[in-house]
């Protein structure tokens, strides 16, 4: 798939979540200044949200991040790094409030933006996928958690040599998703593979 068609496909993915994203590499230089100005206008809402979060008031923090996102959207800043970060912060608030469906919605929307902005293989994007998988598992959707972990493992093996610590972490997370489905034998195989990787890494230290 060409770069042009890949970006078009990712744009459709973003649109499915209602996000107007643009690829950062194609944006004009003036966009950075514009985004900074928009971020500054919305900043008081983010400050309010962070203060509430630090105090453990995640209901108020969620409201603050919702206001922050609304301010960014009003100024046309959907798809920016600030917007994606606001979504992940809001998702974290929903998670702490045990509102897992809303947390999943926010993480998926952030993923749609960041995939377009950074590319599907960027470590920030794969990191978000990993978080989403853990929330899906907590929500009770083990098959979806398994699907995401297998996707992450395939990406890890495609981009890097086998035997990295990151692969061991993914295998351990995959084992948890398999265990939640009663697939103990497959889970044990994943855990053993993760153990072998960690053992080899320790020997090489």
Residues 4 and 65 placed together within one structural domain of the fold: yes
Q: Is the pLDDT of residue 49 over 80?
A: yes
The residue with greater pLDDT, 115 or 12, is 115
Residues 112 and 132 both lie in one domain:
no
Total domains in the fold of the chain: 2
Q: What is the mean pLDDT of the chain?
A: 85
Q: 132 and 172: one domain?
A: yes
State pLDDT tens for residues 78-90. 989 999 999 999 9
Do residue 83 and residue 21 come from a single domain? yes
Read off the pTM: 0.78
Same domain for 113 and 128? no
Last residue of a domain, one of 119, 149, 174: 119
Considering only 6-10, 59-63, 117-121, 196-200, which range has the smallest mean pLDDT? 6-10
Residue 37 pLDDT > 80: no
Q: What is the average pLDDT across 38-52?
A: 88
- Residue 39 shares a structural domain with residue 130: no
* Residue 139 reports pLDDT greater than 50: yes
Measured at the alpha carbon of residue 77, what is the angle toward residues 73 and 78, in degrees to the nearest 5?
Answer: 65
Position with higher pLDDT, 91 vs 30: 91
CATH number at residue 6: 1.25.40
Last residue of a domain, one of 119, 151, 175: 119
Q: Are residues 86 and 7 in the same domain?
A: yes
Report the pLDDT value the prediction gives residue 203, as an integer from 0 to 100. 80
CATH number at residue 126: 1.25.40.10
Residue 17 has pLDDT above 90, yes or no: no
Grade residue 39 by pLDDT with cuts at 50, 70 and 90: low
Give yes or no: residues 114 and 14 share one domain.
yes
**50 and 142 inside one domain:** no
Question: Do 21 and 101 belong to one domain?
Answer: yes
- DSSP class per residue in 142-190: HHHHHHHHHHHHHHHHHHS-TT-HHHHHHHHHHHHHHHTTT-HHHHHHH
Residues 6+ away with beta carbon under 8 Å from 139: 100, 101, 104
Domain that holds residue 80: 1-25+33-119
Whether the per-residue pLDDT at 140 is higher than 60: the answer is: yes
Nearest-angstrom CA–CA distance, 132 and 149: 10
Residues 153 and 107 in one domain: no
- Is the per-residue pLDDT at 4 higher than 60? no
DSSP of 72-138: HHHTT-TTSHHHHHHHHHHHHHHHHTT-HHHHHHHHHHHHHHHHHHH-TTSHHHHHHHHHHHHHHHH
Instruction: Indicate the residue among 64, 92, 119 that finishes a domain.
Output: 119
Do 57 and 143 sit in the same domain of this protein? no
């Amino acid at each position: 798939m060409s770069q042009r068609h890949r970006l078009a496909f990712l744009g459709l993915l973003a649109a499915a979540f209602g996000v107007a994203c643009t690829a950062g590499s194609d944006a004009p230089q003036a966009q950075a200044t514009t985004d900074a100005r928009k971020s500054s206008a919305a900043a008081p809402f983010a400050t309010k949200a962070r203060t509430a979060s630090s105090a453990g008031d995640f209901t108020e923090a969620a409201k603050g991040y919702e206001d922050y996102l609304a301010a960014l959207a009003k100024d046309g800043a959907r798809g920016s790094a600030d917007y994606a970060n606001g979504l992940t912060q809001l998702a974290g608030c929903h998670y702490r409030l045990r509102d897992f469906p809303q947390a999943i919605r926010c993480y998926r929307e952030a993923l749609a933006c960041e995939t377009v902005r950074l590319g599907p293989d960027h470590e920030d994007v794969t990191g978000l996928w990993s978080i989403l998988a853990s929330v899906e598992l907590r929500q009770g959707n083990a098959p979806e958690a398994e699907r995401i972990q297998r996707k992450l493992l395939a990406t890890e093996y495609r981009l890097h040599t086998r035997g990295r610590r990151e692969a061991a972490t993914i295998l351990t997370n995959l084992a948890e998703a398999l265990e939640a489905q009663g697939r103990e034998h497959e889970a044990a195989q994943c855990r053993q593979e993760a153990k072998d990787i960690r053992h080899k890494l320790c020997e090489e230290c």
